[in-house]
Amino acid sequence: MTNITGEISKEDFVKSYALSIQKKEASIFVGAGTSIPSGNLSWTELIQPIADTLKININSYNDLVDITQYFLNDQAGNRNFINERILDSMSDQHNNNKTLQAISELPVSTFWTTNYDHLLEKYLEESGRKVDIKRNESSLTNSIRGRDATVFKMHGDKDDVNNTVITRDDFMNYTENHPNMSTALRGDFINKTFLFIGYSFNDPNLNYILGKIKKTNATNQRRHFCIVKRVQKDAPEYQDNDQQFHQDEVLQKYKVTDLNSYGIKTVFVDSYDEIPNI
């Protein structure tokens, strides 16, 4: 794939983001993909048993939060099975997670995450950081003295699993139910340069976050960055399926262009193993 609108080279990204770090204007947004090397499930894997229960082909849905909403409706609002899936899907075992280790060692003080696990916090603490964790609305009003890293867990924490954000209603009512977290997020989008790591283009979390970015400042957007794995023809899923490869390649092009409209430049990698070195 040739360079497309919204793509930035690794070298130009490093120069630009390093400058933001030096100016203390950098933030990192950590997605579910960063926890997979530690044994946690992807969003699709998390939702798969729920889709199976509903007899839904998960591959036919672009927005996985629809499936969790359908299941909740079917269960008359009982979240028990969904909560069990969240708890069963994650581990706080490190398993030598080089990406999170590299993230934790950067001189960045503000971290946002949609992850329910505790991996990011643990890596920051092991790097000698004093971490202030914002798990919910009430935690935003208190700060730890001497903190040098703040982690905003905008979709909740596994220790308070019943209040995690996972269904469509949770996402749609987020601003009303989490007004202080939403205000903090909008402020950081205006004042800081974000780096998104661990998000795929079909991650439902990213779509809702992008909506918040556009609402924050539609006319004078700050530039942000997102590291994405490039669609590759030799990937196992495209074996003997050229049509699917070409379709996904074109779709990736349009999605990168769409990200650019939100002020987010895409940094392509051929392997996620490149991220720690970057």
Reported as a single tens digit per residue, the pLDDT across 85-120 is: 888 888 767 678 999 999 999 999 999 999 999 999
Helices (H), 91-193: 98-105, 119-126, 168-172, 174-177, 179-191
Q: Which two structure tokens, joined as six digits, stand for 271?
A: 């392997």
The whole-number pLDDT of residue 245 equals 87
Residues in the chain: 278
Question: Which residue is listed with tokens 């060692």?
Answer: 105
Task: Tell me the C-alpha distance between 214 and 217, whole Å.
Answer: 6
The whole-number pLDDT of residue 111 equals 97
Residue 178 is a catalytic residue? no
Phi, psi of 67 (to 5 degrees): -65, -45
Catalytic pick from 94, 118, 155, 178? 155
In the predicted model, residues of the chain with pLDDT beneath 50 are: 1
The whole-number pLDDT of residue 1 equals 47
> Which CB contacts under 8 angstroms, 24+ apart, belong to 147-150?
148/109, 149/108, 149/109, 149/110, 149/111, 149/124, 150/109, 150/110, 150/111
Question: Which residue is listed with tokens 């924050």?
Answer: 216
Residue partners of 187: CB distance under 8 A and separation at least 6: none
Report the Cα 155 to chain-centroid distance in Å. 10
pTM of the entire predicted model: 0.90
